[in-house]
Amino acid sequence: MRRTQWNFLLVFAMTTSTMRAQMTLDYLYRYNCQSGPDHQVTAVEVGTDSVIAGSNQGLALLDLNALPPSGTQSYLFRLSDVNARNLYPVENYLYVNEHADGASVQFGFAIVRIGNDSLHFIRRISEPDVFYDKMFVAGDRLYVAAHHYGIRVYTIANRENPSLIGSLTSGFTDAFDIAVRGDTAYVADGAGGLKLVDVSNPAVPVLLGGEDLTTAPGTSQAVTLDATHVYIAAGSAGIAVYPLDNPSTRTMIEVGGTAEDFAWVGGYLAVSTFSGVVIVDPASQTIVARETVHRRGVNATLRLCSGVGAAGGNRVLCGNWNYMDVYELKPAASSTQADINCSHQRIRFRPEGGSQLATVRNNGRGNLNITTVGSTVASFSTDLVPTVLAPGDSVTFTISYNGSPTQGSGVIGIASNDPDESPLPIQVFGATDSLDPGEIAPDFMLPILRKDHQTGTYIEEQFTLSEHRGQVVWFGIYASW
């Protein structure tokens, strides 16, 4: 039976639900990356205290109880045959959404069997020139978001040999993610917003309706459901929330970052925002906890929260590029941890030198003890001294550059009793110009070649950054050497 066609004339609603108590994210332990650019981007629970972490270098099977607060590179088993982006466990199998070599344009999914403390690669499924992104498992069906190619439906009745049984290729802008409830699929369609699809006949999905380029908020990158609502991670616009019984209405939740991924943790919605994890209470649609990540250590190791998962009911798994950090979600009143946060991760100076201000704040529930402050390079200095900050307190200080004649860079390191960010690094650059992820870039134009997927030819165009505000822009740069 076909569903009613939805006409999406959006009405913006307000919520008046009672907010639950404030929560906090206490740091527990960490899995470190392996050598090289091993970007930890996702993790999923596959058994009691058993987690698989995914990265562009493969999969690592971990025992959470074996991870120390200081971090470790140890694992139970490592499989390097896959380039993992998202993970979907089904019984003793794992379906791995892959981001393969961009030059080959093969972006499909891999099938991995989970053994006793081992992982076994089975096969890879892909379509030439089709970019598979996030997926969803419902019974013996695997649903795939395939960007401008729409959605795919596979049967996984044979877990090791999926078979394509249906697809819908029209009506989409840029399908990033998909979730299914009953006979309806909810698609996060990039700049096209939320789309609804009737999948009662998986061989012939039918588009029911949805938002479009003029009504969608931000860039819809992830979707999840609870008993009453649909949630869309809409990039810099935050989270869009739609009632299941009336998806033509929408409320927005600002998260103070770029919402990219979801996980349900003990009745709360965990959201990855690049700059950290945000915890949302779905009843009140308010933020009840936040963990802002920062570069870590004297080598200023990059941390970008790009994926989030859950384990054991109240533990949050954060794919932070060079780490998988594990936090405990708990009532704020029961926490005693300090949490250092700085207004700057990088500071740049003109060739003639000068001074800039930065602020350190204690976002935790215990006193923050700043014990030592130092600089790795003599041309950079600071007037910050050891001090104690009570919860919520901050201190503003000066970082200076003496205008050395040659370009230079260094790190201002702030050691403290923060359990996961000591020393906290502030990278400093003299006579250097660069940008960090999350920083504002000046507008620019580039000549580009766009591939016409219908004809297979390339079309010369011009890209202007400001014309893509609120969208995810992905540059693929290919070269030989």
Q: pLDDT value at position 455?
A: 66
> 68: left (phi > 0), else alpha (psi -120 to 50), else beta?
beta
Q: How far apart are CA 328 and CA 368, in angstroms?
A: 19
User: What structural domains does the chain harbor?
Assistant: 22-334 (2.130.10.10), 340-430 (2.60.40.10)
| 165-175 tens-digit pLDDT | 999 999 999 99
Residue whose C-alpha is closest to residue 216's, from 180, 187, 255, 258: 187
Q: State the Cα–Cα distance between residues 373 and 423, nearest whole angstrom.
A: 9
- Positions of the chain with pLDDT lower than 50, given as ranges: 1-4, 9, 12-17, 102-105, 479-481
Dihedral angle at the C-alpha atoms of 204, 208, 213, 218, nearest 10 degrees? -100
pTM: 0.84
CA 75-269-94 angle, to 5 degrees, is: 40
Distances from the Cα of 78 to the Cα of 6, 84, 230, 278, 404, angstroms:
46, 12, 35, 30, 46
Instruction: Specify the pLDDT at position 338.
Output: 96
- Is residue 151 within 8 Å of residue 158, measured between CB atoms? no
- The pLDDT value recorded for residue 301 is 80
Q: Which tokens in the block code for residue 341? A: 């946060």
pLDDT computed for residue 102 by the predictor: 46
Nearest one of 35, 34, 39, 125 to 88, comparing CA atoms? 125
460 within 8 A of 481, measured Cβ to Cβ: no
pLDDT digit string, tens, across residues 377-409: 999 999 999 999 999 999 999 999 998 766 688
